[in-house]
Homo-oligomer: A and B are copies of this chain.
Amino acid sequence: MVPLPIMASSSKTIRRLEVVSPVPADIDIANSVQPLPISEIAESLNLSPKYYDLYGKYKAKVLLSVLDELQGSEDGYYVVVGGITPTPLGEGKSTTTVGLCQALGAFLDKKVFTCLRQPSQGPTFGIKGGAAGGGYSQVIPMDEFNLHLTGDIHAITAANNLLAAAIDTRIFHESSQSDKALFNRLCPPNKEGKRTFADVMHRRLKKLGISKTSPEELTTDEIKRFARLDIDPQSITWRRVMDVNDRFLRKITIGQGPEEKGMFRETGFDISVASEIMAVLALTTSLGDMRERLGNMVIGNSKAGEPITADDLGVGGALTVLMKDAINPTLMQTLEGTPVLVHAGPFANIAHGNSSIVADKIALKLVGKNGFVVTEAGFGADIGTEKFMNIKCRYSGLVPQCAVIVATIRALKMHGGGPEVVAGKPLDKAYISENVALVEAGCVNLAKHIENTKGYGVSVVVAINKFATDSDAEMNVVREAALRAGAFDAVVCTHHAHGGKGAVDLGIAVQRACESQSQPLKFLYPLDISIKEKIEAIAKSYGASGVEFSEEAEKQIELYTKQGFSGLPICMAKTQYSFSHIPSLKGAPTGFTIPIRDVRASIGAGFIYPLVGTMSTMPGLPTRPCFFDIDVDIATGKVMGLS
């Protein structure tokens, strides 16, 4: 293979890094680089100021209206980055995503855009620290990336909790009022003494099959059906959210104040990124589409088993108002001055774990023909890439040309039978000294991910994210195994230590893969089969021999099918630590039966999510959280101690 020449970049925003060894702390690298004014990044993209709003000097929200302007332009190449089944330490997927883009933009003179998820602020103060990449492959300013950003998650929190308040308040007010009184309050007379429906009420009327336009025309029965939602408190699946690791809110009892008259109820808080509204943001395609999805979110059932939506509660419009700026992705930059769009960060287990469709669409237009958009899919490829293809691409209509699979020698050794890897504990020496046999044995995991990913019709490039302790022999084994499994290429990269320069080979491989690819996207399952069949198709892709549905799961599948939701794609809520449901089953297990404990639905976002085991949706804080180290330098205003 003749390598493409490494070109000097023609973009004015590109900056060269002076790398130091050993690699300094992430925050120190981030603070050592003066970011460019984001308006200069926008200019390098030919993005006119009328299509973005500045949020401080280094962030801007790109307005969706730019899509209308660029409607006729061609898209760039679309690359998704997934990973092998990870260790609890993570294998550097974000870092590789950023490093690959730095290589393409700063060394291979390509138009390139990185599309990343916005991290939750909770873990930033807990155990995990930030999520802006690492080493010499980072998004900057790193503190702004990790904290508040442009307020999207705060908007989600506000919207999620307004809906929650609307639910309990509605039940409360319905409990003490007659149908007539309720109706009269919902449709009060205006100044002329005439009752009218609010616009949002027409949605409920339509759902009920009532075509009348004036409140005065409703019959007593219609008044009852319209005004009384009759929500079954036991059926409420809508929980409150907070962007804080607050384990004491996992299970709580609300409504214990004397004014709430004994209407207490057990519920709980999730972390904000687990909100369905986050999944809506990630999957929506326009403001109008978001309005519909938010209004369609189902919060539970009436006592008669009818799904109750946000629009039934009258709050779909208000939720859209709260989210109207959040729909615009945030423009930032990498350490080497290439552009980044940060947008949405849905949970990768109970949601689909991919950044937003609108960010990818905007990016594809802005890089244009022969440009590259690299977007990351959460967790291992069995979860992240699968949901990227079957949910995200299905809704967006976009077709990727290339999928990168990030592998580390460390994780492959674990899959080959190495000792357990535990976050916070020192690594076993198997992981920091050469052990070719372990690596070789672990490649079954990589091979299975390659095989599955190739099934979508894309070219697969394996990125071997090299650590200082990895040996050439180990890496050769991986490269050979990857090619044997059908990868288009497998490349060692050192972007953590060297920035884009360390990922130039990867960039070249990705470019070749994209250029040689022209297959349509092949989904793993069609939408028009049953919920069970879809779950079975996904389980089979894991290597399972079958699926076992609990009684609860059977009941919910029946309910959702009856309610007309069986045509939605499936979003499996499964551990990322194994192809199977058992985290300790490493490698590429087969013959196991996937148990479906329960089945839930995010109707607004647009998927059914079966629960394989218990998913924590609210992390906790350790005895000594990260926050002990975090402070502001009073003199400079700089953030210290963020990792």
Contact = CB atoms under 8 A, between A and B. Distances in A.
Give the number of times this chain occurs in the complex, counting copies: 2
Nearest to A174: B623
Nearest to A167: B248
A166 interface: yes
A55 interface: yes
A148 B314 contact: no
Nearest to A295: B631
Contact of A154 (B158, B173, B291, B325): B158
A627 B245 CA distance: 30
B165 A291 contact: no
The interface residues of chain A, by DSSP majority, are classed as mixed
A67 interface: no
Interface stretch (A195-203, A446-454, A561-569): A195-203
A321 interface: yes
Contacts of A252: 252-256
A143 B53 CA distance: 16
A247 B123 CA distance: 29
A634 interface: yes
A192 interface: no
A169 interface: yes
A55 to B, nearest CB: 5
Given A57-B53, A325-B148, A186 B624 contact: yes
Contacts of A54: 53-56
Contact of A259 (B121, B155, B249, B250): B250
A485 interface: no
Contacts of A260: 247-248, 250-251
B628 A198 contact: yes
Given A154-B154, A321-B639, A641-B317, A250 B246 contact: no
Contacts of A53: 54-57
Interface in A198-244: 198-201, 240, 242-244
Interface in A622-640: 622-625, 627-632, 634, 637, 639-640
A155 B247 CA distance: 20
A417 interface: no
Contact of A621 (B166, B188, B317): B166
B621 A169 contact: yes
A641 B318 CA distance: 9
A49 B118 CA distance: 28
Contact of A248 (B154, B169, B186): B169
A322 interface: yes
B247 A251 contact: no
Interface string A382-420: 000000000000000000000000000000000000000
B182 A623 contact: yes
A246 B168 contact: yes
B168 A634 contact: no
A419 to B, nearest CB: 21
6 contacts: A53-B55, A54-B55, A147-B322, A169-B620, A186-B628, A252-B252
A-B pairs, top 8 by smallest CB distance, nearest first, are: A317-B631, A154-B154, A318-B627, A165-B246, A251-B257, A250-B257, A54-B54, A185-B623
